[in-house]
Amino acid sequence: MKFLDIRDADFDQQFAAILGRGEEAGREVEQVVLEIIAAVRKQGDAAVLEYTNRFDRMDAASVTSLQVTDEEIDYAFARAKDEEIAALKLAVERVARFHEKQKQETWLSTEETDIMLGQMVTPLQRVGIYVPGGKASYPSSVIMNAVPAKVAGVPEVIMVAPTPGGEINHHVLIAARLSGVDRIFRIGGAQAVAALAYGTDAIPRVDKVTGPGNIYVATAKKLVFGQVGIDMIAGPSEILVINDGSGTPAHIAADLLSQAEHDELASSILITTDRGFGEQVAGEVEKQLKKLSRREIARESWETYGAVIVAGSLDEAIAFSNRIAPEHLELAVGDPFAILPKIRNAGAIFMGHFTPEAAGDYLAGPNHTLPTGGTARFFSPLSVDDFIKKSSIVYFSETGLNRLGRDIVRIAELEGLEAHGKSVSIRLK
């Protein structure tokens, strides 16, 4: 863990290692992923099966056999406790209610009597959602990806998830049914992304792939973009906490560790105007680390990519936050609403001392699929908008074309496109 002062001359140099985490590995991974994509395009199900059996230690006979059955989902419900199912139902309901407010409708404008303009909103026909597996199970990722798709009106949602050893977490299956997922396949990694992007005999081609994954998944999504839509290129998890010396150090330490336990590349940063408070938080992190079941992962993340930064003022802390554009931003200050208007770049903003980031991860309502690695400067959280497309509608009556046609022809002539102009002038009186 780094203890830094933002005013130090070498601060940027010291912080660069955190900002650049994973970049070297990304370049090494790309060639491997290109080979996997090429194999899936050429060999289809055979390649998907070979990679799945090899990477996930399975012995499946066909890709079709990797599809989860209704009976398996029924059994998942039978295994779960009533209160677990109730909690997942509550999450689905709250996430659906939030995303319903994002829906857009087709509209037409009749401001001009002889011209009609508008926009047609259409849901995507089929989408693929990637749900991470391996180090942990993520029913919340199912909900956050499938629910907005269904709210948008997507008819078919295909889910893929890696299942080392062949077993899929029963809470993931429950979340999938509650969220409206239509088909589930036990495949993961770059081969799953390639199968969704190009289609195979067993796995249908989709219009868009969403959801987080490891570096192989993120690289595959980047490489198939254009062939298929994607939500964003998600990197390792990150949290930045802005603090003014108020609050409870143990609470903030717990929030920092909530990201550190994700994986070794996760980044957890506190920037505070009170050095003594920062030292207390760092001490609390050490105490809490010892009690975590995932302490090895969390400790490596904290010691390599964690930091406590001392700032001279809240404005200095806010400027730093806007520069790095964090995935999760906690405003652990006395009056978070006073500084909210100054926040420009963040995936999700958690306000005050009683809004831990984990509330947003599970059932607050907003989506937890968020831009990482500074991309919150130009990306937004996953939303209903990711599962629709818009078409422009243009209608000219004869009088409308006669009214504007000569100006259309003039602009076509300015560009030297004679046939463009002719297609209009030939209709003019």
Binding residues for substrate: 237, 259, 262, 328, 361, 415, 420
Provide the 8-state DSSP code for 391: E
**Cα dihedral 344→347→350→351 (10° resolution):** 20
Query: 155, 334, 340, 361: which is closest to 255 by C-alpha?
Result: 361
Asked if 300 and 270 count as a contact pair (C-beta separation under 8 A), the reply is: no
Q: How many CA atoms lie within 13 A of 301 on its CB side?
A: 25
Q: What DSSP string runs through 399-428? A: HHHHHHHHHHHHHHHHTT-HHHHHHHHTT-
Cα torsion 361, 363, 365, 367: sign: positive
CB 317 within 8 A of CB 311: yes
Q: What distance in Å separates the CA atoms of residue 428 and residue 399, rounded to the nearest whole number?
A: 9
φ and ψ at 402, to 5 degrees? -65, -35
The torsion of the CA quartet 63, 68, 69, 73, rounded to 10 degrees, works out to 170
> How many helices and strands (H and E) does the chain possess?
17, 14
3-state secondary structure of 334: coil
Query: Which residues are marked as active site?
Result: 327-328
Question: Helix (H, G, I), strand (E, B), or coil: what is residue 58?
Answer: coil
Written as six digits, the tokens of 205 are 């081609």
Amino acid at 191: Q
Q: Which residues make up each annotated binding site?
A: 130, 191, 214, 237, 259, 262, 328, 361, 415, 420
Query: Comparing C-alpha atoms, which of 40, 331, 332, 43 is closest to residue 189?
Result: 40
Rg from Cα positions in the chain: 25
Q: Are 386 and 208 in contact (CB under 8 A)?
A: yes
Task: For the chain, give the number of residues.
Answer: 429
